C-alpha cells in the first residue's frame, strides 16, 4: 500500500458509491485527492469527510465527457495539489437498461459516452504530465459486463468491453514511459447503481462483494508493485501475488484480457 503523503490521485465519480469509498480509502493512505462528479453538494460532503479525518481534497464539478473542463481540472489540480500520480476512471452509468430496441437512443448514447469517452478524456488530460515524469498509474473501472453478454443492458456491456481494449492498448504505448494501466472489476457492489435492479433483488448475501475489497485492489495496483501486470483485466477476487508469480504464463497465453478463440484455439 502506498503511504507517501505527497502522492495525488484524481477519482472520477467520487460523489458516491465505489468512487467515494476509493477516495476515502486513498486519503487514509496519504493521497491528496481531486474529486470529480456532477453533484457538487455530494462532492463537498465527501471532501468534508476527508478533511475532518485530516486529509486533503478538492472538488471539481464536471461531466466526465467534457474535455475542456477536464483540461481545466487537471491544470488546477496540478497547481494546487501537485502532479497526478493516480487516475481512477470510476464514473459510470448504466441507466439505459432493457433490450436495445426499447432504449431511448440519446439516453443509451449518453451512458456509453460516460463509460468510454469519459475515461478517454481523462487519460488524454493526464498523460502529457505522466509521460513528462515517466511515471503514473491509470485504473479504469470495468465490470462483469466487460467480458460477458449482458442481455438487459447491451450499451453498458459494449462500453465496458471497450474500456478493456482501451486499457490494454494504452498499456502497450505507455509502458516505455513507466506508466501502468489496468481495468478492474469490482464484483457486484451495493450502490445506487445496483440497489433497485430487479435481477439483483433476491441474490444471496454471498453474491455481493465488499466495497472495501475494490478499495484494497486499487491501493495495491497504485503501489507500483504490480506494474508487470499493466494492461490486464483484474477482478476484485484475483490474487495479485499469484498473478505476479504466473506472469510468464499470463503473457504467453494472453490471459486476463479480451481475446477470441475459434475451433483451432486462440485467434492470433
Contact between 35 and 43 under an 8 Å Cβ cutoff? The reply is yes
Smallest distance from ligand NAP to CB 59, Å:
11
CA distances from 58 to 33, 49, 84, 196 (A): 6, 12, 13, 31
Distances (CA, A) of 246 to 107, 125, 229, 254: 42, 33, 10, 12
Output 95 or 255, the one with its CB closest to ligand NAP.
Answer: 95
Residue 19 to residue 15: CA distance in whole angstroms: 7
Instruction: Please confirm, yes or no, whether 156 is among the known catalytic residues.
Output: yes
Q: For residues 26 and 37, which CB has a smaller minimum distance to ligand NAP in the complex?
A: 37
Which of 31, 60, 122, 156 is flagged as catalytic? 156
d(CA 165, CA 61): 28
Least Å from the CB of residue 14 to ligand NAP: 6
From CA 127, how far away is CA 136, in angstroms rounded? 8
Nearer to ligand NAP, 193 or 229 (CB): 193
Q: How far is the CB of 77 from ligand NAP (least distance, A)?
A: 15
Query: Is 141 strand, coil or helix?
Result: strand
Q: Which is nearer to ligand NAP, 113 or 225 (CB)?
A: 113
List beta partners, residue 137.
Answer: 86, 180
DSSP 81: T
- Write down the least CB distance from residue 37 to ligand NAP, Å: 3
What is the dihedral sign for C-alpha 246, 248, 249, 250? positive
156: CB partners within 8 A, 6+ apart: 93, 94, 96, 97, 111, 112, 115, 143, 145, 150
CB closer to ligand NAP out of 91 and 170: 91
| Least separation in angstroms between CB 42 and ligand NAP | 5
List of residues contacting ligand NAP (CB under 6 A):
12-13, 15-19, 37-39, 42, 63-65, 90-94, 114, 141, 143, 186, 188-189, 191-194
Rounded Cα distance between 212 and 186, Å, is 10
**Residues recognised as catalytic:** 156
Amino acid at each position: 500500500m502506498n503511504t507517501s503523503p505527497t502522492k495525488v490521485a484524481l477519482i472520477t465519480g467520487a460523489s458516491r458509491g465505489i468512487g467515494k469509498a476509493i477516495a476515502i480509502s486513498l486519503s487514509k493512505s496519504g493521497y491528496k485527492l481531486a474529486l470529480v462528479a456532477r453533484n457538487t453538494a455530494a462532492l463537498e460532503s465527501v471532501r468534508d469527510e476527508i478533511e475532518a479525518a485530516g486529509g486533503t481534497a478538492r472538488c471539481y464539478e464536471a461531466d466526465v465527457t467534457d474535455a475542456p473542463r477536464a483540461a481545466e481540472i487537471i491544470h488546477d489540480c496540478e497547481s494546487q495539489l501537485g502532479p497526478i500520480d493516480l487516475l481512477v476512471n470510476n464514473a459510470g452509468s448504466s441507466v439505459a437498461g432493457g433490450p436495445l430496441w426499447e432504449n431511448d437512443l440519446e439516453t443509451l448514447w449518453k451512458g456509453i459516452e460516460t463509460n468510454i469517452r469519459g475515461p478517454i478524456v481523462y487519460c488524454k488530460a493526464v498523460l502529457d504530465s505522466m509521460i513528462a515524469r515517466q511515471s503514473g498509474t491509470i485504473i479504469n473501472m470495468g465490470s462483469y459486463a466487460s467480458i460477458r453478454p449482458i442481455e438487459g443492458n447491451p450499451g453498458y456491456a459494449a462500453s465496458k468491453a471497450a474500456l478493456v481494449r482501451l486499457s490494454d492498448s494504452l498499456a502497450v504505448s505507455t509502458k516505455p514511459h513507466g506508466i501502468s494501466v489496468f481495468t478492474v472489476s469490482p464484483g457486484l457492489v451495493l450502490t445506487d447503481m445496483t440497489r433497485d435492479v430487479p435481477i439483483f433483488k433476491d441474490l444471496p448475501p454471498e453474491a455481493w462483494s465488499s466495497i472495501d475489497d475494490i478499495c484494497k485492489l486499487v491501493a495495491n495496483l497504485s503501489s507500483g508493485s504490480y506494474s508487470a501486470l499493466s494492461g490486464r483485466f483484474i477482478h476484485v477476487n484475483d490474487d495479485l501475488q499469484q498473478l505476479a508469480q504466473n506472469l510468464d504464463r499470463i503473457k504467453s497465453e494472453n490471459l486476463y484480457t479480451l481475446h477470441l478463440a475459434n475451433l483451432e484455439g486462440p485467434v492470433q
